[in-house]
Amino acid sequence: MAGPTVGERSKAVTAAVVGNVLEWYDFAVYAFVATIIAKKFFPAQDEVTALLSAFLAYGLGFVARPLGGIIIGRLGDTRGRKTALLLTIFLMAAGTVLIGILPTYETIGVLAPIILVVARLMQGFSAGGEWGGSTAYIVEWAPAGKRGWYGSFQQTSVVAGLLLGSGVAALMNTLLDPAAMESWGWRVPFLLGGILGPVGMWMRREIDETPAYRRVQAAGEAGAREDSGWLLAARAFGFTIVWTVCFYVLLNYMPTWTRQYMKLTPQAALWANTIGLFVLLVSIPFMGYLSDRVGRKPLLLACCVAFIIVPLPAFNYLLSGDASYGTLILVQAFFALLISMFSGPGPAAIAEIFPTKSRSTWMTSGYALAVAIFGGFAPFISVWLISRFGSPTAHAYYLIAAAIVSTIVIASLRETAHEELA
């Protein structure tokens, strides 16, 4: 039986990638208007308490990710990757629209933050299944010797969604004055995400199952029990810690940090973050391609070691008084380049830990649990650490601790770049 053609591969991967962009735009845009959401839904006596409440709701969206990972991941192994991906994009669009039309605390009182949390839980449940489902789908379509390259587009699409969210938020802050942005402008990014959702659903309805999944399905092994599943999921959990902490501290929380401690305007903070995201976007495919040549582990370990060494001096310099706006952009671009060393080979490397018959279930579960614990609450933990220790660089130690843990886990894994996909 002939393998899939280049056209078939391109169609399948493009549909998965476009849907993923829309998914992660919807999920991430909350963080970019968090300061406004804090005022609208969590009125408090001081700004720090309101912001903590807003980021707590943000983090609760990640609490649902392990549950979504288990349920939707299992669905992907038993009913197919396509079915799982259609469900995730529908749930994400629904949760996003709900936030966009939700009345504020001033209008409906305590119901406003309650419904906001429900919407975030819907988004989190969807995201829990989306990441693992799309990763399995894209990597399983990759030809031999190109899993790093193909897999990198999964992470590229995640960053593209973040970039789109950051860019839209920056554009809204640039076009509207602060009063208009707080009155109604903050809703526009959410409503835009809801409108784009059906586009992703339409594209995903047209895709085929992966060759690898069809193979195990024909053999009657799809969704078969994997005795070592929990152990493999634990490896994925440890693998993910530094990845998710760096991602959510340095990309999602960074605009809030630069506004508070470098005294930037909202639009300046968001544009600096958007530039960093663009650097990450263009670097990831190169790192994925490189991992097919030199292996996954050299790049993954280099990233981990860098995040043990770099964060504290970088943040200290930004607050030294010598750092200009241009310096901030360079620092964010450098952070982005380091993250790309993990995000490029990461999707292929984590997928290669698991066999196809149970990949979606266990990979999604391990990854989603790590993201829920360490990533989703990263902005909350960052704000708490800074407040608790009275230092605006205290959150750097969270990055360093995460990097140490993942270094140990990744060093224990075997190199899988040049092996056949199980």
Nearest C-alpha neighbor of 253 from the set 65, 44, 30, 45: 30
Question: What pLDDT does 1 receive?
Answer: 46
Asked if residue 183 is part of any domain, the answer here is yes
Domain containing residue 336: 6-412
Place of tokens 């493009």: 14
What is the band of 407 on the pLDDT scale with cuts at 50, 70, 90? Answer: very high
DSSP-derived secondary structure for 132-192: HHHHHHHHHHPPTT-HHHHHHHHHHHHHHHHHHHHHHHHHHHHHS-HHHIIIIITHHHHHH
Assess if residue 417 is contained within a domain.
no
pLDDT at 344 over 70: yes
> Is a pLDDT exceeding 90 seen at residue 393?
yes
Q: How far apart are CA 329 and CA 65, in angstroms?
A: 32
Query: pLDDT tens digit string along 39-76?
Result: 888 776 667 777 777 777 767 777 788 888 889 988 98
The single-letter DSSP state of residue 262 is S
* Spatial distance between the Cα atoms of 317 and 7, rounded to a whole number of angstroms: 49
Instruction: Of 358, 37, 110, 98, give the one whose Cα is nearest residue 225.
Output: 358
Confidence band of 225 (pLDDT split at 50, 70, 90): low
Q: Which residues contact 309 (CB under 8 A, 6 or more apart)?
A: none
Per-residue pLDDT of 5-14, as tens digits, reads 777 788 888 8
Which of 83-87, 144-148, 266-270 is the least confident region? Answer: 266-270
HSE-up of 303 (CA within 13 Å, CB side)?
32
Please count the other Cβ atoms lying within 10 Å of the Cβ belonging to residue 17: 19
Query: Nearest Cα to 395, choosing from 237, 266, 246?
Result: 246
Residue written as tokens 């130690």? 397
- pLDDT above 80 for 190: yes
Distance between CA atoms of residues 262 and 171, nearest Å: 21
Flag whether 419 is in a domain. no
218: CB partners within 8 A, 6+ apart? none
At residue 420, does pLDDT exceed 60?
A: yes
Per-residue model confidence (pLDDT) at position 375: 84
pLDDT of the residue at 45: 60
Residue 119 sits in a domain whose CATH number is 1.20.1250.20
Cα dihedral: 46, 48, 51, 53 (round 10):
-80
With respect to residue 66, please indicate whether it lies within any of the assigned structural domains: yes
Average pLDDT (259-271) is: 88
pLDDT above 70 covers a percentage of the chain that reads 97
Tokens describing residue 344: 């490029």
Chain centroid offset of residue 157 CA: 10
Over residues 269-289, mean pLDDT: 91
Structural domain count, the chain: 1
Asked whether residue 315 is domain-assigned, the answer is yes
- Least confident among 168-182, 231-245, 387-401: 168-182
Alpha-carbon torsion angle 323, 327, 331, 337, nearest 10: -170
For the segment 284-343, what is each residue's pLDDT rounded down to a tens digit?
Answer: 999 999 999 999 999 999 999 999 999 999 999 999 988 899 999 999 999 999 999 999
User: How many other CB atoms sit within 10 Å of the CB of residue 206?
Assistant: 10
Q: pTM above the 0.75 mark?
A: yes
Domain assignment present for residue 420? The answer is no
The answer to the question of residue 150 being in a domain is yes
Residue predicted with more confidence, 146 or 16: 146
> Between 166 and 241, whose confidence is greater?
241
Taking the C-alpha atoms of residue 168 and residue 100, their distance in angstroms, rounded to an integer, is 14
Encode pLDDT of 17-44 as tens digits.
887 888 778 777 887 787 788 888 877 6
147 token code pair: 């899993």
* CA-wise closest residue to 29 among 154, 197, 205: 197
pLDDT digits (tens, 9 = 90+) for 108-134: 988 888 898 888 888 888 888 888 888
Residue 63 CA to residue 120 CA, distance in Å, equals 10
Rounded CA gap, 152 and 412, in Å?
23
Tell me the C-alpha distance between 347 and 152, whole Å.
6
> 130 near 89, Cβ under 8 Å?
yes
The average pLDDT across 390-394 equals 94
Residue 1: inside a domain: no
